Amino acid sequence: MSLRESVTQSSSRINSGVNVSATPAALYNLHTQSSPHNTDKWQSTESRYNVQRGKFSAVSEYDLKFFQELLGPHRTVLGEKELEGHNTDWLCTVRGESSVLLKPKTTEEVSTILSYCNQHQLAVCPQGGNTGMVGGSVPVFDEVILSTALMNQVESVDTWSGVVTCQAGCVLQTLDQHVAQYGLMIPLDLGAKGSCHIGGNISTNAGGLRVLRYGSLHGSVLGVEAVLASGEVVDCLSSLKKDNTGYDLKHLFIGSEGTLGIVTRVAINCPHRPAAVSVAFLGLQSFEDVLSTYKIVRHQLGEILSSCEFMDKSTLDCVEKNLKLTSPINKYPFYLLLETSGSNGDHDEEKLNKFLELTFDLGLVKDGTVATEPSKVANIWRLRERIIEAFKLDGCAYTYDISLPLPSFYKVVEDLGQTLHPDVLSVTGAGHIGDGNIHFTVTSKEFNQEIVESIEPAVYEWTSKVNGSISAEHGLGFLKRNYIHYSKSPSAVKLMKQIKALMDPNGILNPYKVLPD
Amino acid sequence: MSLRESVTQSSSRINSGVNVSATPAALYNLHTQSSPHNTDKWQSTESRYNVQRGKFSAVSEYDLKFFQELLGPHRTVLGEKELEGHNTDWLCTVRGESSVLLKPKTTEEVSTILSYCNQHQLAVCPQGGNTGMVGGSVPVFDEVILSTALMNQVESVDTWSGVVTCQAGCVLQTLDQHVAQYGLMIPLDLGAKGSCHIGGNISTNAGGLRVLRYGSLHGSVLGVEAVLASGEVVDCLSSLKKDNTGYDLKHLFIGSEGTLGIVTRVAINCPHRPAAVSVAFLGLQSFEDVLSTYKIVRHQLGEILSSCEFMDKSTLDCVEKNLKLTSPINKYPFYLLLETSGSNGDHDEEKLNKFLELTFDLGLVKDGTVATEPSKVANIWRLRERIIEAFKLDGCAYTYDISLPLPSFYKVVEDLGQTLHPDVLSVTGAGHIGDGNIHFTVTSKEFNQEIVESIEPAVYEWTSKVNGSISAEHGLGFLKRNYIHYSKSPSAVKLMKQIKALMDPNGILNPYKVLPD
């Protein structure tokens, strides 16, 4: 895992809360970065996306005085430069204009802030590690930024049941290292783990590499404490594995991206850390063979399978060419990366070998390698983990995080690949096949609006037609909220809006996010 | 599994939807059954629990005509005798007085019924297999009973992803047998599986024997279609493993016991059916040894552990004495039943043997037996599965389903056992230790109100003090709703009531359930 971590660290934001925009923004060169408007500062969200400010108050001197008295001067951050990294996202897609960032340390402080903002009609943008992909954690206008950066206390680890209780601002990787002392692990793993906050992960219902083994956060999160827009603290911080006493309110805060309440404390079910990890990298001739192999994977490796990642030839070609990395196997149209984690390495290896023998004999897997030695495991993972970096080096990448029924999983690449602008360099598909979650990515030498128009809204329409989701694991945030109808029924959206109106009647919590205009 | 199934069948309701009250009521002789008022018919809920009828309309001839025109005469069931099994629960704790039961076959029919009832202020009691433990699925007064019995179509099985989509009235066991054809399993397993409906399971967030392996239904259920009180159909029937497009509304319907909407269709994530199952039955000297052993179980059997059940000596004594069953090992103060399920029987057996060697060497496990041959596996499971039947033969049983932090798991039996009435025959603890879920049960020769008073509310107060849950897996239903404050904060209960008022403004859906007066 060491190499994956080093990749993670280099490609993710620094966790200091300041000066965090420069390096990572350069790493993932989305089309917006190389747009004509992008010089040192890219356009504000307001002008780029033509969005209207809500009827909120502007932060006054009087308000600042209140915040400074509550938190002191060091935890009330002012100044354009100081706020630069908090007003922008690392993908350089959005830019807000907030003038104040607050750093509470306790639930009570969050409650006081929200109660005040609600009374004074001040909009609030909750922010964790600000590693989101859809502009959900950045202010759109001048919202007060409420950062969880100083709410980073691990409160307890129940080693009997395997449950950690902590504040929302704990960094995912730090939290995982903390529970590792007790032989436990956080069941969530994703690229931004070096800087994302667990509260942000939960608010986004972050997915990542382990969903097929450990399920979604709706299953892993046992308890949530959240503060409503009114400042009222809703305590659902149970650390029990079973609790059927009334409506399970914590689920309202999981995946609602801070629009219904700010998550302040959480309790998470932690599986035992595996004693052994193996990785296999396989080459396959057709996507039909990928599907057939995946079926055998589920059958033969069921309980030890901890990751099942997919990439096509175009993706690996790009990784090899741009990063000078070498695949351990020959070239094939498709590749699978399997990871097993278990309590007995010998057993896992035997299962993996048996699986390989079978799929070789059936002609499904054409070539493959297995690694158990950590540096070799890391070499293989690097091919998967550095895909984004590789795309960036093409010049400009347009990426779409969608989930699809498995038979349609790769069809999106084949179908949409036909109709793209001639300036496209590569059309690729890679992702979490075990979750039906593909990242469909197109690259070009430089940003081209015509390329965008050849993809959108076609990709959403295509996804909707096969009953897929236009956001598998990234949420809707600011950027995708007006596409919600491609994945959700009008009655569902109506009920979402009613719940928002009930829980945040003044609409101060993360406005312009999740719900459509 | 065959023997477990036969036990299940004998102890659960017949699935015809009629004539279901006589046999099962006799099987689980709760104190209420042998109360002074219990002759052929026990008291109505109204008089026994002194509850006030809400301001709903009574069903008129005009209403009946509407229902009969919609559903025809056979699916509009009338008559005291025909409704007997639907007005009462199998535990004989509640008795409603409904005069009409409706059997829709489609979501559209459910929608039409609810829309009509909402307009005419008629209260509705949704009913699945009516196997609930807390009076949640039985009318309190004259609510219209809406049965899902005829909504039993399996719509599709996605064998690539392992997802079944079906109507809410499918019987759990039937559904499991259906997906078994494709090598899949329903991740939920519980005693009433021969008659409970999957829609009822989801509405209750039913727990059972596999939660420690497959997690709760909030993780396993991928999609829900539900009909609101207004008749509006909320379609969240995604069968995708990842979908982060807006608020995840399905969780509102999981565990809300039909008070926010009636679940009509569901999509469930189905794990691969294991190739091998082994069971171990172990004797231990102290509860400390049980805890230490459980920790090693998690470590050594992690990914193959599919059940970890606990019982004390009093429980097994009662099973042996009353059912003439024989334990395969000598007498000990505590017992653990472990089940492993995996893709390779040899590996599982090796892991289990290694675990046993270690725990024997450490002096934690004093005696034990392992079974892999189906009839022996069944013999061991019988000791666990027939506990309720055994208690019944003592005369009268008072049982409490609670979840607790593991160090307090057995202390509830030790502490409360001290203060009980002298007529008590046995004080026992058994349950799902992997989930921290104990069933604390006291038996006596016949019902004695003083025994009840020596337990309640002491057991709830005790549970609340250690931050436990007064309902681990059964829900609050009618019987426990006014105890909700022992497990939930006032702010949480307030928000629950607001959500109920939003989604069911006339309060017609399963009134008198879940939320306190």
CA triple A461-A462-A464, angle to 5 deg:
65
- Picking from A115, A160, A190, A242 by the largest number of B CB atoms within 10 A of its own CB, the best residue to mutate is A242
Q: What is the mean pLDDT of residues B288-301?
A: 95
Which residue has tokens 């009973």? B145
The β-bridge relationship of strands A144-147 and A100-102 is: parallel
Bridge partners, residue B334, by sequence: B284, B312
A310 close to A334: Cβ distance less than 8 angstroms: yes
- Is the model's pLDDT at B25 over the cut of 70? no
Can you give the pLDDT at residue B14? 27
CA distance B252 to chain A (A): 7
B242 and A294 in contact by Cβ < 8 A?
Answer: no
Which residue has tokens 């008590």? B424
Residue A14: pLDDT band with limits 50, 70, 90: very low
Query: Exposure pattern of B479-497 as b/e (b: 16+ CB <10 Å)?
Result: bbbebbebbbeebbbebbe
Can you give the pLDDT at residue B360? 97
Per-residue pLDDT tens for A78-92?
A: 999 999 999 999 888
Strands (E), A44-115: 76-78, 100-102
A110 close to A67: Cβ distance less than 8 angstroms: no
Q: What is the mean pLDDT of residues B199-206?
A: 98
Can you give the pLDDT at residue B397? 86
The string of DSSP codes covering A498-510 is HHHHHH-TT--BS
Q: What is the mean pLDDT of residues B295-316?
A: 95
A405 and B158 in contact by Cβ < 8 A?
Answer: yes
Tell me which chain B residue has its CA closest to the CA of residue A292. B160
A120 close to A57: Cβ distance less than 8 angstroms: yes
Task: List, in order of start, the domains of chain A with CATH numbers.
Answer: 2-147 (3.30.43.10), 154-269 (3.30.465.10), 276-387 (3.30.70.2190), 395-486 (3.30.70.2740)
Sheet holding B76-78, edge to edge: B76-78, B100-102, B144-147, B124-127
- Is the model's pLDDT at A39 over the cut of 70? no
Per-residue pLDDT tens for A122-145?
A: 999 999 999 999 999 999 999 999
Q: What is the mean pLDDT of residues B184-202?
A: 95
CA distance B250 to B221: 9
B17, two tokens: 């939807």
State the DSSP H helix or E strand holding residue A179, giving kind and residue range, or none if neither.
helix A172-180
Which residue has tokens 């939003």? B502
Tell me which chain B residue has its CA closest to the CA of residue A272. B299
Distance of CA A23 to CAs A7, A350, A443, Å? Answer: 14, 43, 21
Q: End-to-end CA distance of chain B, in Å?
A: 43
User: What φ, ψ does residue B427 adopt, rounded to 5°?
Assistant: -120, 120
A66 vs B453, higher pLDDT:
A66
- Does B107 reach chain A within 8 Å, measured CB to CB? no
B255 and A232 in contact by Cβ < 8 A?
Answer: no
A240 and B469 in contact by Cβ < 8 A?
Answer: yes
B245 and A436 in contact by Cβ < 8 A?
Answer: no
A374 close to A1: Cβ distance less than 8 angstroms: yes
Can you give the pLDDT at residue B88? 96
Report the residue count for chain A. 517
A54, two tokens: 């809500």
Per-residue pLDDT tens for B258-278?
A: 999 999 999 999 999 999 999
Can you give the pLDDT at residue A40? 54
Residue A28: pLDDT band with limits 50, 70, 90: very low
In this prediction, what percent of chain A has a pLDDT beyond 70? 92
CA distance B82 to chain A (A): 32
A202 close to A85: Cβ distance less than 8 angstroms: no
The string of DSSP codes covering B220-264 is HEEEEEEE-TTS-EEEE----S---SS--THHHHTTSTTSS-EEE
A248 and B271 in contact by Cβ < 8 A?
Answer: no
Q: What is the mean pLDDT of residues A161-177?
A: 97
- Does B477 reach chain A within 8 Å, measured CB to CB? no
Can you give the pLDDT at residue B42? 79
A232 and B491 in contact by Cβ < 8 A?
Answer: yes
Residue A43: pLDDT band with limits 50, 70, 90: confident
When CB atoms are compared, the residue of A162, A246, A347 closest to B347 is A347
Helices vs strands, H then E, count in chain B = 20, 16
CA distance A341 to A347: 11
CA distance A481 to chain B (A): 8
A235 and B502 in contact by Cβ < 8 A?
Answer: no
B471, two tokens: 């309902």
CA triple A360-A366-A367, angle to 5 deg:
100
Can you give the pLDDT at residue B40? 54
Can you give the pLDDT at residue B473? 96
Can you give the pLDDT at residue B452? 85
Question: Which residues from chain A sit within 8 angstroms of residue B435, using beta carbons?
Answer: 241-242
Tell me which chain A residue has its CA closest to the CA of residue B206. A244
From chain B residues 158-187, the ones with a CB under 8 A of any chain A CB are 158-162, 183
CA distance B389 to B376: 20
CA triple A406-A410-A411, angle to 5 deg:
100
Question: Which residues from chain B sit within 8 angstroms of residue A491, using beta carbons?
Answer: 232-235
The string of DSSP codes covering A270-285 is -PBPPSEEEEEEEEES
Tell me which chain B residue has its CA closest to the CA of residue A497. B247
Q: What is the mean pLDDT of residues A183-207?
A: 95
Can you give the pLDDT at residue A371? 95
Which residue has tokens 């009008």? A490
A408 vs B397, higher pLDDT:
A408
* Biggest CA pair distance of chain B: 75
B299 and A161 in contact by Cβ < 8 A?
Answer: no
State the DSSP H helix or E strand holding residue A251, giving kind and residue range, or none if neither.
helix A250-253
A240 and B403 in contact by Cβ < 8 A?
Answer: yes
CA dihedral B5→B6→B11→B12, nearest 10 degrees, is: 50
Q: What DSSP state is assigned to residue A379?
A: H
Q: What DSSP state is assigned to residue A231?
A: S
- Is the model's pLDDT at B108 over the cut of 90? yes
State the DSSP H helix or E strand holding residue A400, giving kind and residue range, or none if neither.
strand A396-403
Q: How many CA atoms lie within 13 A of A344 on its CB side?
A: 22
CA dihedral A98→A103→A106→A112, nearest 10 degrees, is: -40
- Is the model's pLDDT at A2 over the cut of 70? no
From chain B residues 284-303, the ones with a CB under 8 A of any chain A CB are 291, 294-295, 298-303
B487 and A218 in contact by Cβ < 8 A?
Answer: no
When CB atoms are compared, the residue of A244, A272, A496 closest to B247 is A496
Question: Which residues from chain A sit within 8 angstroms of residue B404, using beta carbons?
Answer: 240
Question: Which residues from chain A sit within 8 angstroms of residue B436, using beta carbons?
Answer: 161, 240-242
Can you give the pLDDT at residue B389? 84
For chains A and B, CB pairs below 8 A equal 287
| SS3 of residue A9 by DSSP | helix
A452 vs A422, higher pLDDT:
A422
User: What φ, ψ does residue B136 adopt, rounded to 5°?
Assistant: -80, -20
A303 and B303 in contact by Cβ < 8 A?
Answer: yes
Tell me which chain A residue has its CA closest to the CA of residue B437. A242
Can you give the pLDDT at residue A364? 98
From chain B residues 356-415, the ones with a CB under 8 A of any chain A CB are 403-407
Which residue has tokens 């297999």? B129
Q: End-to-end CA distance of chain A, in Å?
A: 43
B253 close to B342: Cβ distance less than 8 angstroms: no
B361, two tokens: 């060497």
Can you give the pLDDT at residue A397? 86
Question: Which residues from chain A sit within 8 angstroms of residue B304, using beta carbons?
Answer: 303
Question: Which residues from chain B sit within 8 angstroms of residue A468, using beta carbons?
Answer: 240
CA distance A387 to chain B (A): 21
CA distance A44 to B369: 69
- Is the model's pLDDT at A482 over the cut of 90? yes
Question: Which residues from chain A sit within 8 angstroms of residue B432, using beta carbons?
Answer: 242
From chain A residues 437-476, the ones with a CB under 8 A of any chain B CB are 437, 467-476
Question: Which residues from chain A sit within 8 angstroms of residue B252, using beta carbons?
Answer: 247, 251-252
Residue A185: pLDDT band with limits 50, 70, 90: very high
Question: Which residues from chain B sit within 8 angstroms of residue A241, using beta carbons?
Answer: 211-212, 216, 403, 434-437
Q: Which ranges of B122-272 does DSSP label H, i.e. alpha helix?
A: 172-180, 198-204, 211-214, 217-220, 250-253
Can you give the pLDDT at residue A13? 28
Can you give the pLDDT at residue A31? 34
B245 and A470 in contact by Cβ < 8 A?
Answer: yes
Can you give the pLDDT at residue B90? 83
Q: What interface predicted TM-score (ipTM) does this complex get?
A: 0.92
Residue A68, classified by CB atoms within 10 Å of its CB into exposed (0-12), middle (13-18) or buried (19+), is middle
Can you give the pLDDT at residue B294? 96
Range from B222-231, B392-401, B415-424 that averages highest in pLDDT: B222-231
Per-residue pLDDT tens for A225-250?
A: 999 999 999 999 999 999 999 999 99
When CB atoms are compared, the residue of A212, A244, A342 closest to B204 is A244
CA distance B368 to chain A (A): 22
CA distance B345 to B374: 13
Distance of CA A493 to CAs A250, A489, B265, B354, Å? Answer: 20, 6, 19, 53
- Is the model's pLDDT at A112 over the cut of 70? yes
CA distance B447 to B451: 8
Can you give the pLDDT at residue B120? 98
- Is the model's pLDDT at B478 over the cut of 70? yes
B239 and A405 in contact by Cβ < 8 A?
Answer: yes
CA distance B130 to B195: 8
Residue B191: pLDDT band with limits 50, 70, 90: confident
- Residue of B222, B223, B340 whose CA lies nearest to B281: B340
- Is the model's pLDDT at B283 over the cut of 60? yes
Per-residue pLDDT tens for B429-455?
A: 999 999 999 999 999 998 888 998 999
> Is the Cα dihedral B203, B204, B210, B211 positive or negative?
positive
CA distance A215 to chain B (A): 6
Residue A344, classified by CB atoms within 10 Å of its CB into exposed (0-12), middle (13-18) or buried (19+), is buried
- Does A216 reach chain B within 8 Å, measured CB to CB? yes
- Picking from A205, A213, A239, A244 by the largest number of B CB atoms within 10 A of its own CB, the best residue to mutate is A244
Q: What is the mean pLDDT of residues A190-199?
A: 93
How confident is the prediction for chain B on average, in pLDDT? Answer: 91
> Is the Cα dihedral B341, B344, B348, B351 positive or negative?
negative
Tell me which chain A residue has its CA closest to the CA of residue B405. A240
Strands (E), A285-389: 305-312, 334-342, 365-371
The β-bridge relationship of strands B144-147 and B124-127 is: parallel
Q: What is the mean pLDDT of residues A491-516?
A: 98
